Amino acid sequence: KSSCLKLELLRQGQKLSDVDFLVDGKRFEAHKIVLAAVSPVFLAMFESGMKECISNEIVLTDTDPEGFENFLKFVYSGGLPDMKHVVTLVNLADKYHVLALFDLCVDFMGKTLNECNVSERLQLAELHGVASLKTSCLDFIRDHLESVSSSEGWARIVGDLRLTSQVAQALQSTPVETTTPEEFVQVSETKELVCQTPVKTVQWSIKWATVLNHELLRDPASP
């Protein structure tokens, strides 16, 4: 809508702003009513007597300037943000409950999975509790285990017991080539489950772990 485009133009022109954000030393001028219109978190913040509300300056330490600029652009114009910043955007969208942006990001991430990003996206899906994206990531990992497990991002999964367990469960549905029980024992005892082990061994190990209900596969959140 043209009135939304004009809100964004006024923001870019730094007209009539009533609240500032500081991100990594960069200042962003904004308008409480516009932020409150898309975010119940901002509405509550500005209606309350929080210190941000009184000083009209909000310092953000958990985001980056370029990503935040894209966040504001979406908030003001509703237009598609630059998805180069999707990780920052999904984090801000979740933090401030901007549902439309959150859904956009989740949709985008699910449709553009590759070997390099799937591990991070699985982690984000877990962090933000998005079942649909989690399923897409796990399916992708199952179908591309060899390349994903040799990618840089794989360490994110290996370093997280909960994610490791979920990947393992997803792998159950793939055909597994046989290997020796000794290999499984070796893997499960060292707990270096997936990282420096050949894929076939991992698959086999996971299958065995499942069968044995091995602690390797137990959900770390359960007692």
Q: Is the separation of the CB atoms in 71 and 35 below 8 Å?
A: no
Q: Which two tokens stand for residue 142?
A: 């199952």
Closest listed residue to residue 205, CA positions, set 165, 153, 152: 165
Closest listed residue to residue 125, CA positions, set 101, 99, 107: 107
Q: What's the closest the beta carbon of residue 200 comes to a second copy, in angstroms? A: 50
Among 21, 28, 46, 68, binds a second copy (CB under 8 A): 46
Among 24, 26, 27, 47, binds a second copy (CB under 8 A): 47
The dihedrals phi and psi of 15, each to the nearest 5 degrees, come to -95, 135
Q: What's the closest the beta carbon of residue 80 comes to a second copy, in angstroms? A: 13
Closer to a second copy by Cβ: residue 28 or 140: 28
Which residues within the stretch 13-42 sit at the binding site for a second copy (CB under 8 A)?
15-16, 18, 31-34, 36-38
Closer to a second copy by Cβ: residue 10 or 22: 10
Closer to a second copy by Cβ: residue 37 or 195: 37
Binding residues for a second copy, how many (CB under 8 A)? 23
Give pairs for 41-49: CB < 8 Å, separation 24+. Answer: 41/95, 41/96, 41/97, 42/96, 46/19
Interacting residues toward a second copy by CB under 8 A: 1-4, 6-7, 10, 15-16, 18, 31-34, 36-38, 43, 46-47, 75, 78, 100
